[in-house]
Amino acid sequence: MSDLKLFRKEKDEFFKTSRQSPLSMEQKRDFTGLRYYPENPSLRLELKLERFAQAEPVVLPTSTGDEQDYFHVGKIRFEVAGQEAILQVYEADYGFFLPFADATAPDDTYGAGRYLEPHNLGGDLLAVDFNLAYNPYCAYNERWSCPLPPAANRLMARIEAGEKKFHE
């Protein structure tokens, strides 16, 4: 079993059994697993963070009308489906944060967007694995408040990797 398949299996188990799961008790009863795109090695990237001279404080609105604070630290560039894509990168206490929406939304993926937490490989090189793209907790039910991807992180290209939408 690949590392990604094992990760997905463990995530499904967490969603089904954990008290910290975003699913309600009712949702857990019928839960058989999340839906994912097949693993796509071409969307497992190492990208240079084009870091700003100084990180800028930014407030991202959430799905419930609240706000969350981040630092806008830079951007990344990559190519997907023959198109250049640029995404803004944010930082919080837990590390880098990459909220985005792409052309798979809202038909295949959550309409409000998905998240990634790129890993710093050193020297401003980031591991950005779209196979790990996931839905925010507000995709599962409305009791959660989730930061919304900014307009700059809404791509015209399709990122066919990671988690698909939960509800049909």
pLDDT in tens, the chain (168 residues): 689 999 999 999 999 999 999 999 999 999 999 999 999 999 999 999 999 999 999 999 999 899 999 999 999 999 998 999 999 999 999 899 999 999 999 999 999 999 999 999 999 999 999 999 999 999 998 888 999 999 999 999 999 999 999 975
Burial class from Cβ neighbours inside 10 Å (0-12, 13-18, 19+) for residue 34 reads middle
Biggest CA pair distance of the chain:
50
What integer pLDDT is reported at residue 143 of this predicted model? 86
pTM of the complete model = 0.93
Domain ranges, residue 48 = 35-153
Query: What is the number of domains present in the chain?
Result: 1
Assigned domain for 13 exists:
no
How far apart CA 30 and CA 23 sit, in angstroms, is: 11
Assigned domain for 160 exists:
no
Q: How many CA atoms lie within 13 A of 97 on its CB side?
A: 21
Assigned domain for 11 exists:
no
What integer pLDDT is reported at residue 168 of this predicted model? 58
What integer pLDDT is reported at residue 1 of this predicted model? 61
- H helices present in the chain, as ranges: 3-17, 25-30
Kindly state the tokens that stand for 31.
């839960």
Assigned domain for 25 exists:
no
Assigned domain for 86 exists:
yes
